[in-house]
Structure 1
């Protein structure tokens, strides 16, 4: 009996591959009889990344992936359980690209910041894809690998196990949210008729025009609008890490 989609998913979690995984494919023929690229997990992931890179995460659906692969949605379900499973695979593939350093007690803060920065940059390559990481159980081995690496770094730095565990959750949540906000801001900036995203000069003008019931905002407008988004990212990550001791 052929494995169910759920069994294929479980096999990927346990072994990194399995029946219906990247090594399993089925040859197909195109409309003219020529051979088409076989459907594999890797082909599905590649098509999904292509859609997100060009159209954003909101455009990603199983039907859209099937169209890109010149097949029907039902063909994808022989390899991917559902959209949530595809999301998990995409985040796992990005996590697989993260370089995890050997834990160094003398430089653990810098190492944790480096892992967070790598993950941020991976997410920013694909607009809005960090949305797929929200509320996702870290059961994919590639995703768990990043958590394992961060836990090892924090423990080496003398952070207690419970604080380290919750710190990883908080750091990941911030990276996901930051990446999503950056993607949304870039999308708005690309729309010429959008008035919600304004530059620093315009923000300073608006703050200066506020009534006197906002004295602190008016007085410290320069500080409130200072720095790049990545400056704020580094500050927040540093603030969170310093709170660990």
Structure 2
């Protein structure tokens, strides 16, 4: 994702360099906040950016666009953030807050992961652009750390081996990522009025040649893609339990 050119040219170069040095030295959460006005705060900036990204995608988010939505000058945002990269980090961490489980996690490790996975899936479908941010290795904020803490707390109910805990959390995260991306893709295809691959003339011509004897009956049956999130998660958890269930 290209972010060059988002900082208005009116910002003096010395301030641009200062902002770059700040970001290199410490993350946005550890820096003092700018002054508050009724329409402008760090929270308002992040909320406006998320609203834009939800409606139009991440590429629509820019300092100038966010400022326009808030009815302020773009320069005003730089009292709260130093660069667009800060804004993206804050957006990512705000979505992480939606994943957090309030109160205590269930005592059963499987149930704990089901709670966490359900929140992750819902947040990912509400904000599909978050996967683009994950790909750019955003700086981890306080909510992201709390989410990781809850995930490893769930894993600790099954094993106290740090390597095993990481393997468990990673396996579940990978399932969640794959499922959510596919679900989002299917939503976009449906919105565009596109059918499945079995409806494409080129695919049908190849199937008619008998070159795909195992794929053809599946496509001919008209079976939709796996939509049962809970069933897939159960398979993952069953495998994890077989691997680590006897470690305690």
TM-score by length of 1: 0.72
- Aligned match of 1:239: 235
Aligned-pair distance for 1:51? Answer: 0.8
Aligned: 1:40 with 2:38: no
- Aligned match of 2:104: 102
- Aligned match of 2:10: none
- Aligned match of 1:153: 154
- Which of 33, 57, 63 pairs up with 1:20? 33
Q: Distance in 2 between matches of 1:234 and 1:150?
A: 18
Aligned-pair distance for 1:50? Answer: 1.5
Aligned-pair distance for 1:144? Answer: 0.8
TM-score by length of 2: 0.71
Aligned-pair distance for 1:11? Answer: 6.8
Contact preservation (8 Å) 2:93, 2:140: no
Aligned-pair distance for 1:45? Answer: 1.0
- Aligned match of 1:112: 113
**SS of equivalent to 2:39:** strand
Residues 70-219 of structure 1 mapped to structure 2, 5 A cutoff: 70-97=71-98, 98-99=100-101, 102-104=104-106, 107-137=108-138, 139-158=140-159, 160-192=161-193, 197-199=194-196, 202=199, 206=204, 209-219=207-217
- Aligned match of 1:52: 53
Q: Distance in 1 between matches of 2:220 and 2:109?
A: 33
What is the CA RMSD across the aligned residues, in angstroms? 3.5
Contact preservation (8 Å) 2:48, 2:70: yes
- Aligned match of 1:33: none
Q: Distance in 1 between matches of 2:136 and 2:232?
A: 21
Q: Which runs of 5+ in 2 are unaligned?
A: 1-14, 244-248
Q: Which runs of 5+ in 1 are unaligned?
A: 28-36
